[in-house]
Amino acid sequence: MSRENIRYNYVIGDVQGCFEALKALLKEIQFDPDQDFIWFAGDLVARGENSVGAIRFIKKLVDRNVAATVLGNHDLTLLASARGIKEINEKDNIRDVINALESDDLIDWLRKQPLCLFPNDHTILTHAGIPLNWTAEQTDALAKEVQAVIGHEDFEIVDEFLTEMYGKKPDLWSDDLEGNARLRCITNYLTRMRLTNAEGRLEFSFKDSLEDPMPEGFKPWFEFDSQAAKTHQIFFGHWAALQGKTISDKIQNVDGGCVWGNQLMAYRLEDQTMFAVDNPVV
């Protein structure tokens, strides 16, 4: 579908395998694949009731060119688990994907998805957000460095990075970073970030609401002056406790915490309308 023929663009928050909620949301927004386009904020799978159903469905939409998705931290964990690099977390319902007859195709498709997308010329989407000192263009370029490795045709290169992907260091970006340390840092900013300090250093332990006490010296990444937000509206998921909060006219969360019994959300870009449905499977 060409962008000129699109009626509505929707940014949908973390599905997390909540397939019934996704179907309910598409009904709520009256999604028409012949006219509309969906931008998924990542975390397609994990703790919902039907990860394999969700990823199969979303893959079909993307293959039909009526949707696109960025990768989230749970999607990357699925890749690592499928490659035998990381044991499956007992809280993650992803065995249905790994055991599916077409598992190789699903995993191969997933690993070739980007970490950053531009729904239009003035909008940027990543799973967790963008650190204060990255421009939109820099974010895209750095995301593509990781994408090139995860989507590489040589699985030795893929597996080497997935093996080194987990870790909290380096927790501060520098242009001088190299190798897997550089890729890990980029990945952590784009898929795991919630809090940083004023220089952009990451803090990984906090997952609560904005009203809860935060580690000293750290604030939500979006409370700092953002270089990317000067040129683009930033959309992100990842932080369920925000429940789709509008941070500002330039920063919008779309994670309604559906997997935790709350809502799955879709933001319509054309008129800035938020739609939400309750999770029918709790």
Instruction: Render pLDDT for 199-237 as a digit per residue (tens, 0 to 9).
Output: 999 999 999 999 999 999 999 999 999 999 999 999 999
pLDDT computed for residue 104 by the predictor = 97
Calculate Rg over the CA atoms of the chain.
Answer: 17
The predicted structure's pLDDT at residue 188: 98
Is the pLDDT at 264 greater than 60, yes or no? yes
Q: How confident is the model at residue 51 (pLDDT cuts 50, 70, 90)?
A: very high
Q: Please name each of the domains of the chain with its CATH number.
A: 3-278 (3.60.21.10)
Residue with tokens 């531009």: 118
Instruction: Determine the Cα–Cα distance for residues 261 and 282; give it in Å rounded to an integer.
Output: 5
Q: What is the pLDDT of residue 1?
A: 57
Contacts of 204 (CB under 8 A, 6+ apart): 168, 171, 188, 192, 194
Please state whether beta strands 8-12 and 36-40 pair in parallel, antiparallel, or not at all (unpaired).
Answer: parallel
Indicate whether 128 pLDDT > 70: yes
Contact status, residue 64 vs residue 35, Cβ threshold 8 Å: no
User: 161-187: per-residue pLDDT in tens?
Assistant: 999 999 999 999 999 999 999 999 999
Backbone φ and ψ for 22, nearest 5 degrees, come out as: -60, -45
At residue 258, the pLDDT reads 96
pLDDT band at 282 (very low <50, low <70, confident <90, very high): confident
**Is the pLDDT assigned to residue 3 strictly greater than 70?**
no
Residue whose tokens read 């929707």: 10
